[in-house]
Amino acid sequence: MKSLRAEQAEAAAVPELIAATEQAMPRQADALARARAFAEPLIAGEMLDTGENTLAHADAVAAILKTMGGSEAMQAASYLVYACVHLNKPEEVIAKAFGDSYAALAVETTKLVRVQQQTRAAEATSQLDKEKAQTEAVRKMLLAFSRDLRVVMLRLASRLQTLRWHAATKTVAPESVAREALSVFAPLANRLGVWQLKWEMEDLAFRFLEPDTYKQVAHLLDERRVEREAYVEQLRSQLEAELKAQGIHASVHGRPKHIYSIVKKMRGKSLDFDQVFDIRALRVIVPEVKDCYAALSWVHQQFSPIVEEFDDYIAKPKANGYQSLHTVVRDAAGRAIEIQIRTQPMHEHAEHGVAAHWAYKEAGARGYAGVSASGEYDAKIAVLRQLLAWERDLAGATRDLFDDRIYVLTPDAAIVELPQGATPVDFAYTVHTSLGHRCRGARVDGAMVPLNTPLRNGQTVEITAAKEGGPSRDWLNSELAFLASHRAKAKVRAWFNEQQRHETVQRGREAVEKLLQREGKTALKLEDLASQLGFKSAEDLFAVVGKDEYSLRNIETLLHPPEAPLPQDEFLLKKPRAPSRAAKGGVLVVGIDSLMTQLARCCKPAPPDAIAGFVTRGKGVSIHRRDCASFRELAARAGERVIEVQWAPKGEAAAVYPVDVAVEAADRQGLLRDISEVFAKEKMNVIGVQTQSVKGTAWMTFTVEVGDSGRLAHVLGLVAEVQGVRWAKRR
């Protein structure tokens, strides 16, 4: 932290710096020289973390930007970025000296530098997720962090210079710096079409990450370099001359060999060094499209083409607009040669970044790099590349490309993607649902903020959480703007729904337990009680009782049946010894004495249904309704086992029979209770209930005990009159 005296001295020095630069040259003229003059007193004697002199680093970055075609503002910013850390109010000071555009560029780049430093520090302590998803998030953040793409270009140039400095001084670059260059910056340069920067950065980073492999491949290239270059030059001149003789004015060039791309292809395709085609590679530039195909025809006549390696990106351009003919051929000695053929406009389009090698190099049809690329995301990048190539004012032109997402950091420097307008509460729910529920406060970049504060790109967010508790209902109030994420809103609603269900279940439990206590049945297991009433669990029973959708009279009826209850689904009834006497269940088997009978589960007959018997193996006679589909099938298959049966005369037995009743209704609160009340008033014992509700329609099945199915029609008519019921019928 700076001392008060240092701050005062700095404050006094800043006006002098501004005055000196303004006096030396007009405000809008020669901004690059003015920026260097402004920054030099502040950074000339300083060193970066790498050990490189800060002013020398800024000079080199400005030179790299110049070779990339960067504007004067971009080059000037390379100095202003490093001056920012020495200013109390950098945006205000730089804006006064150079204008708002320069100030925004310098300040935003400084913020991004700080984010990268935090990310690398967290990675060094193994606190950062190193998976591909995190790497992709860093890539997106580099583009979404600022609405000015020049910020990203400044960081690319700075990282290349850092790698160059380590190589020149023969010092080893930190692994985190080299790995970030290889996995983040080089692919980003690839997307932006800055090819030379990409290839150089890849080779330098790979040199530091895998020095042994780098040296091995470099040695293999070098030991045959003279022979290979002589062969390629001979082939180049021959091809150029032969094409000219054919009337095709072509410019043929050898293509550079990049160690990292060779190694990646060897690993991705499991190739030996000699099998990598583009070790011997030529590029043919011709005037017109017809010349491309004419040149291709001649090449295929002179050499043996490898058919599966041919790609026509002229007839079928890549989605990003890239066009060229790619072919691999073998000479008489069997050596593979890769040849690209394109027109000059196609070549300019490719070399200056409007075409994207991203899809081919990192996620093509062969997919040897194993990286996926989003079409929508690549489309956005294509637009940014065009803006860069045309040297537009990128600060305004890219403003709306990433307006729907922001990227913020956890205290451990992990990147979190959020929707635009997201708050600390959204952030907490994205990190973990439990953290969201317990969120009580937040710090953004170290300062306490209200929970409905909109977050911005690059901010570090830290959540203060209670040990336990839940969300506030205010968070669902759209006017208070606590939540922007639909996912976070759904989690809050789910929490309150679960709380409401819990309260409902508890209310139902208390009502059931109070009833059992009043009836002296506290020893009865609640799960058994629920099962006897047709519920899957006691909690399901408590839920419908708590919502007042199930009458407690059903439980009372179960506890005090009018007579000894029979098994729910199966009734074993003994035949009388004399045919003139009724069986206990009220069924007579005509002409046969003492046969065990049971009512079929499939159709559940009851008097006065027309019935028939079917002799089963080991279970006596099964009694079916004559219109039962299952009985008709049994009778057709084994008609000899069908016997005649009849109901006993009334008064000789007082049996009751289970009958299934189906109901369809418009679902509403209290529906189950109202239907149950009808059965209770008609003194029909309900021994089972099953319900299902889908999109506002309820389907219910009641199992009721009846002594006479004829009376059931009257009761079903009453059920049909219940509000919302569409129909009620016996199954």
Do the Cβ atoms of 250 and 298 come closer than 8 Å? no
Our measurement of the distance from residue 472's CA atom to the centroid of its chain's CA atoms, rounded to an integer in Å, reads 27
| pLDDT recorded at residue 28 | 43
**Which one has a higher pLDDT value, 27 or 512?**
512
| pLDDT recorded at residue 393 | 32
Positive or negative torsion for Cα 703, 709, 711, 716: positive
pLDDT at 234 over 50: yes
pLDDT at 526 over 60: yes
Residue 258, helix vs strand vs coil: coil
pLDDT bracket for residue 363 (50, 70, 90): very low
Sheet strands (E) in 506-560: none
What's the CA gap between 699 and 540, in Å, rounded?
17
| pLDDT recorded at residue 191 | 62
pLDDT at 123 over 70: no
| pLDDT recorded at residue 567 | 40
| pLDDT recorded at residue 115 | 67
| pLDDT recorded at residue 276 | 57
| pLDDT recorded at residue 269 | 63
| pLDDT recorded at residue 275 | 58
Positive or negative torsion for Cα 52, 55, 57, 59: negative
pLDDT at 354 over 70: no
| pLDDT recorded at residue 174 | 87
What tokens does 433 get? Answer: 């649902």
pLDDT at 247 over 90: no
pLDDT at 454 over 90: yes
Do the Cβ atoms of 87 and 14 come closer than 8 Å? yes
What tokens does 399 get? Answer: 């403003």
Q: Which of 662, 658, 660 is nearest to 707 (CA)?
A: 658
Do the Cβ atoms of 598 and 572 come closer than 8 Å? yes
| pLDDT recorded at residue 518 | 81
Domains of the chain: 4-170+180-197 (1.10.3210.10), 219-372 (3.30.460.10), 407-484 (3.10.20.30), 496-547 (no CATH), 572-647 (no CATH), 657-730 (3.30.70.260)
What's the CA gap between 243 and 297, in Å, rounded?
11
Phi, psi of 590 (to 5 degrees): -65, 125
The model's pTM: 0.48
pLDDT at 233 over 90: no
| pLDDT recorded at residue 76 | 87
Phi, psi of 673 (to 5 degrees): -65, -45
Average pLDDT over residues 214-233: 75
| pLDDT recorded at residue 670 | 85
**Which one has a higher pLDDT value, 142 or 465?**
465
What tokens does 407 get? Answer: 């990227």
Most confident segment among 373-382, 541-550, 589-598: 541-550
The percentage of the chain sitting over the pLDDT mark of 90, rounded to a whole number, equals 16
Q: Which of 38, 41, 142 is nearest to 94 (CA)?
A: 38
What's the CA gap between 681 and 689, in Å, rounded?
17
Average pLDDT over residues 125-151: 55
Average pLDDT across the chain, whole number: 76
pLDDT bracket for residue 387 (50, 70, 90): very low
- pLDDT tens-place string over residues 597-635: 888 888 888 888 888 888 887 778 888 888 888 888 888
pLDDT at 674 over 50: yes
Average pLDDT over residues 51-69: 88
What's the CA gap between 480 and 482, in Å, rounded?
6
The percentage of the chain sitting over the pLDDT mark of 70, rounded to a whole number, equals 74
Continuous segment of H or E residues that includes residue 65: helix 54-67
| pLDDT recorded at residue 8 | 44
Longest dimension (CA), the chain: 131
Q: Per residue, what are the HEC states of 109-176? A: HHHHHHHHHHHHHHHHCCCCCCCHHHHHHHHHHHHHCCCCCHHHHHHHHHHHHHHHHHHHHCCCCCHH
Of 257-266, 449-458, 694-703, minimum mean pLDDT range = 257-266
What's the CA gap between 18 and 135, in Å, rounded?
40
Do the Cβ atoms of 728 and 661 come closer than 8 Å? yes
- pLDDT tens-place string over residues 13-37: 434 443 443 343 334 447 888 889 9
Geometric angle at alpha carbon 464, from 463 and 468, rounded to 5°: 115
| pLDDT recorded at residue 146 | 44
What tokens does 643 get? Answer: 């016997």
pLDDT bracket for residue 55 (50, 70, 90): very high
Of 172-181, 454-463, 583-592, minimum mean pLDDT range = 583-592
Our measurement of the distance from residue 423's CA atom to the centroid of its chain's CA atoms, rounded to an integer in Å, reads 20
**Which one has a higher pLDDT value, 194 or 300?**
300
| pLDDT recorded at residue 139 | 58
Average pLDDT over residues 369-398: 36
Average pLDDT over residues 670-675: 88
